[in-house]
């Protein structure tokens, strides 16, 4: 009986290896696709650096010096907000948690919500202060809440940047105030923004034009979004502005129309008027020329994967966010197909561990590749469970 069981396991394993191509090792980030065909129109002539990207697939529509290392000013806070949203997802913090303000956090200059030492606000209020008012003080208070110190939080920022495969990013603080060895690129900011937008609820805050803090006190604080596009550009709902004398005027913006969400990043613009005009032009160009084709919507069942020696035999893969590809308007969609390539899994498996990829083709051309992660953790089954499985007929 044992010899027959072992032979059956070998045959099944071989069949799985033949039908499922192994996934590329390690890379967790969704790599941007090659640039979509476009004219040589200069969409951001005044920007030092710029990029235009489809949020659904990572397809680059337009870029200009997009990998140049530049000071980012307050668009640094894209990574700060990403770590906040991930901490919320992981249960490290809750929106209702109170966040105390240290002397250090209250001492931040530049854009701020004027926190007093010892003052407490909820995580949600701090997030509003960061998203709308670009609060440097609120950013440090949240960094200390999550990691204990700003320095420890910055380590998390750089670690996350490495996980996303960002080659031209290094953070020295969590708010973007001028600092040595603090830089990023338009491309890297676009990738961070794409990751942040997977947390769809973030636009509840970045898309607000105005709100109040300290509403129940005698001195309510009026918040007005530093990103004016959320009021004046149809479909805009984020993400973050930035300015220092060194960085000049920066913006990572996003807008959504007809199911197509776009990210536009400019760095080193001469003034706010030019910055907003060129970003609007980038967005206009995309919505006029391109359309979105959905592969999976958030929550859709993508497939199942077997887990060798797991306490469960297989797990369902559901889409954690939407998956789509960018097409020129008027393109045919009849020959678009997708393929889920998964490596055979062996317990234990950790949640969010890379397990394969989703590849989208048009004919024989690869349109996009998406990393696929384990949706849950799977522990190793005990010896008795494995014994019963291998000789199941004896216990049926």
Least confident of 120-124, 164-168, 300-304, 308-312: 308-312
342 and 275 in a single domain? The answer is no
State the pLDDT at residue 263. Answer: 98
The overall average pLDDT reported for the chain is 88
Cβ count within 10 A of residue 112: 20
Smallest CA-to-CA distance from 267 within 286, 243, 239, 284 is with: 243
275 and 384 in a single domain? The answer is no
Please state the rounded mean pLDDT for residues 376-393.
76
132 and 81 in a single domain? The answer is yes
185 and 324 in a single domain? The answer is no
For residue 35, being part of any structural domain is answered with: no
Please state the rounded mean pLDDT for residues 138-163.
98
β strands within the chain, DSSP E: 49-54, 60-64, 98-100, 120-122, 210-213, 221-224, 236-244, 248-257, 260-269, 290-296, 301-308, 314-318, 323-328, 336-342, 345-346, 354-362, 365-373
pLDDT at position 168 over 60: yes
For residue 37, being part of any structural domain is answered with: no
Cβ atoms of 288 and 43 within 8 Å: the answer is no
Q: What digits encode the pLDDT tens for the residues 323-358?
A: 899 999 988 888 899 999 988 888 888 887 888 899
State the pLDDT at residue 307. Answer: 87
273 and 388 in a single domain? The answer is no
State the pLDDT at residue 34. Answer: 45
187 and 311 in a single domain? The answer is no
For residue 5, being part of any structural domain is answered with: no
CA torsion, points 35, 85, 82, 126, in degrees to nearest 10?
A: 130
Q: Which residue has the tokens 């032009």?
A: 281
Residue 122 tokens, joined? 């909820």
Residue 45 tokens, joined? 């002539």
Smallest CA-to-CA distance from 191 within 2, 27, 18 is with: 27
State the pLDDT at residue 321. Answer: 83
240 and 389 in a single domain? The answer is no
275 and 340 in a single domain? The answer is no
CATH number at residue 141: 3.40.710.10
200 and 348 in a single domain? The answer is no
213 and 108 in a single domain? The answer is yes
For residue 6, being part of any structural domain is answered with: no
Last residue of some domain: 261, 290, 319? 290
Q: Is 157 left (phi over 0), alpha (psi -120 to 50) or beta?
A: alpha
What is the β-pairing status of strands 248-257 and 345-346? unpaired
For residue 193, being part of any structural domain is answered with: yes
Active centre residues (catalytic): 74, 77, 134
Give the 3-state secondary structure of residue 317: strand
pLDDT at position 20 over 50: no
For residue 21, being part of any structural domain is answered with: no
Residue range(s) defining the domain that contains residue 238: 49-290
The pLDDT-based confidence of 40 (bands split at 50, 70, 90) is low
Cβ atoms of 58 and 194 within 8 Å: the answer is yes
172 and 85 in a single domain? The answer is yes
Q: What digits encode the pLDDT tens for the residues 52-92?
A: 999 999 999 999 999 999 999 999 999 999 999 999 999 99
State the pLDDT at residue 392. Answer: 64
Cβ atoms of 132 and 208 within 8 Å: the answer is yes
More confident residue, 10 or 52: 52
Q: Cite the DSSP H helix spans in 268-377.
A: 272-289
State the pLDDT at residue 15. Answer: 39
111 and 249 in a single domain? The answer is yes
Which residues have C-beta within 8 Å of that of residue 96, sequence separation ≥ 6?
122, 123, 124
What is the β-pairing status of strands 221-224 and 236-244? unpaired
Last residue of some domain: 234, 257, 290? 290
State the pLDDT at residue 13. Answer: 42
Helix or strand holding residue 131 (H, E):
helix 123-131
Q: What digits encode the pLDDT tens for the residues 199-215?
A: 999 999 999 999 999 98
CATH number at residue 346: 2.60.410.10
As for how many domains the chain has, the answer is 2
For residue 41, being part of any structural domain is answered with: no
For residue 24, being part of any structural domain is answered with: no
Cβ atoms of 142 and 64 within 8 Å: the answer is no
Last residue of some domain: 290, 309, 327? 290
């Amino acid at each position: 009986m044992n010899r027959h069981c072992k032979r059956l396991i070998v045959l099944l394993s071989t069949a799985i290896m033949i039908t499922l191509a192994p996934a590329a090792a390690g890379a967790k980030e969704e790599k941007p696709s090659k640039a979509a065909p476009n004219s040589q129109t200069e969409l951001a002539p005044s920007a030092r650096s710029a990029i235009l990207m489809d949020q659904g697939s990572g397809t680059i529509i337009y870029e200009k010096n997009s990998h140049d290392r530049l000071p980012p000013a307050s668009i640094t806070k894209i990574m700060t907000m990403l770590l906040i949203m991930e901490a919320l997802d992981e249960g490290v913090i809750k929106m209702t948690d109170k966040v105390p303000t240290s002397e250090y956090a209250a001492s931040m200059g530049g854009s701020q919500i004027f926190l007093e030492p010892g003052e407490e606000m909820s995580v949600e209020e701090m997030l509003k202060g960061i998203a709308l008012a670009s609060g440097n003080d609120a950013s440090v208070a949240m960094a200390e809440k999550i990691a204990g110190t700003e320095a420890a939080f910055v380590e998390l920022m750089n670690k996350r940047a490495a996980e996303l495969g960002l080659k031209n990013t290094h953070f020295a603080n969590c708010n973007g105030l001028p600092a040595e060895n603090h830089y990023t690129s338009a491309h890297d900011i676009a990738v961070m923004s794409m990751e942040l937008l997977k947390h769809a609820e973030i636009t509840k805050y970045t898309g607000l034009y105005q709100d109040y803090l300290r509403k129940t006190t005698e001195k309510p604080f009026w918040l007005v979004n530093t990103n004016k596009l959320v009021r004046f550009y149809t479909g805009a709902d984020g993400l973050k502005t930035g300015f220092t004398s060194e960085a000049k005027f920066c913006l990572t913006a996003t807008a959504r129309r007809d199911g197509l969400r776009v990210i536009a990043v400019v760095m080193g613009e001469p003034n706010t008027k030019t910055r907003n005009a060129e970003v609007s032009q980038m967005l206009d160009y995309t919505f006029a020329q391109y359309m979105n084709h959905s592969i999976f919507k958030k929550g859709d069942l993508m497939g199942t994967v077997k887990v060798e020696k797991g306490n469960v035999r297989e797990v369902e893969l559901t889409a954690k966010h939407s998956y789509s590809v960018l097409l020129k308007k008027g393109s045919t969609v009849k020959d678009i197909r997708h393929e889920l390539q998964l490596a055979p899994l062996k317990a234990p498996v950790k949640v969010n561990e890379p397990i394969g990829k989703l590849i989208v083709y048009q004919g024989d051309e690869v349109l996009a590749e998406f990393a696929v992660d384990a949706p849950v953790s799977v522990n190793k089954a005990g010896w008795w469970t494995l014994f019963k499985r291998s000789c199941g007929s004896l216990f049926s």
